[in-house]
Amino acid sequence: MYFSRNQLRKVPILEALHEFMKKANDNGSISRQEAVSMVPPLFLDVHPHHKVLDMCAAPGSKTFQLLEAVHGSTGAPAPAPLPVLADQPLLPTGFVVANDADYQRCQLLTHQLKRMCSPCLLVANHSAEFFPFVKSGPNQQQPLRFDRILCDVPCSGDGTMRKAPDIWRRWSVTSGNGLHIMQLRIAMHGCRMLQVGGLLVYSTCTFNPIEDEAVVSELLLRCGPALELPAKASLPLQRCMRFLPHHQDTGGFFVAVLRLVAELPSNLELPASQRP
């Protein structure tokens, strides 16, 4: 659909379509989202038995998509039989934890996700880089580890310049420098909470390499062989995956898929000899 928001509101012939979309959105039948924003959750390859963490979830469109995947049938076998409630359909064994650092945005997140009416959702309000470890059960000492983690981190947002032209007036070459450390801390903490064999998707809506490739490169350097960028031999790191606005008439996006293949080293700080 290539109608703008203003066209949907103001063009008389589109009035019925606009009313239908509003009602369908309110009852959870549809969720309005830019096409390119759907890409990071798709790369996570979520199945009904997965434990999923969305570290920077608000306003919730990607979380809604992750929750749909948990409730969906993907054909992947679950590790244990699904529980059956009396006169109720089968429930997935997986769940989604949706976190955001801002309390007001968490309220918006809750409002958006309650349309799903899912018992497999938990909304949390923590700074992503300090998200707490929790026990995997009442009598368990080991912390809960997630199968899939989405790090759609705060960024300078220059990939959305077509729909937000004010960004161009505020933009400078140093816009992303102050965000790099926070983005790296969020991604590093995500790696610590990831189950061995699990996937972490790092994504931004900026083209700034300081916020994109530099973060991924630092992750790989600190985690060593425990973390891999799948297919990095055939897809050079400096490219990862970029979605350019003029290719598909979308906003701009950067996406990297990382897999944890072994336990992380206890000390993730770089030795002085390796620091730039």
Q: Tell me which residues are annotated as active site.
A: 205
**CB of 261 closer than 8 Å to CB of 271:** no
Q: How many CB atoms lie within 10 A of CB 267?
A: 8
Burial of residue 236 (number of CB atoms within 10 Å: 0-12, 13-18, 19+): exposed
One-letter amino acid identity for 162?
A: R
Q: Is residue 45 annotated as involved in ligand binding?
A: no
Provide the b/e sequence for 42-80 (b: ≥16 CB within 10 Å): ebbebbbbbbbbbbbbbebbbbbbbbbbbbeeeeeeeee
Q: Is 60 annotated as a binding residue?
A: yes
Q: Is 58 annotated as a binding residue?
A: yes
**249 annotated ligand binder:** no
At 151 the three-state DSSP class reads strand
- Rounded to whole angstroms, what are the CA distances from 86 to 34, 48, 181, 219? 39, 20, 50, 47
Cα 252 → chain centroid? 15
**56 known member of a binding site:** yes
**Has 164 been labeled as part of a binding site?**
no
| Annotated binding residue 86 | no
Query: How many Å apart are CA 208 and CA 176, to the nearest integer?
Result: 7
* Helix and strand counts by DSSP (H, E) for the chain: 9, 8
Residue 159 labelled as part of a binding site? no
- For residue 90, give Cα distances in angstroms to 31, 48, 114: 23, 11, 20
Distance CA 125, CA 103 (A): 6
Other CB atoms within 10 Å distance of the CB of residue 20: 12
Closest among 127, 60, 128, 132 to 96, alpha carbons compared? 60
Binding-site residues for S-adenosyl-L-methionine, in ranges, read 56-62, 100, 152
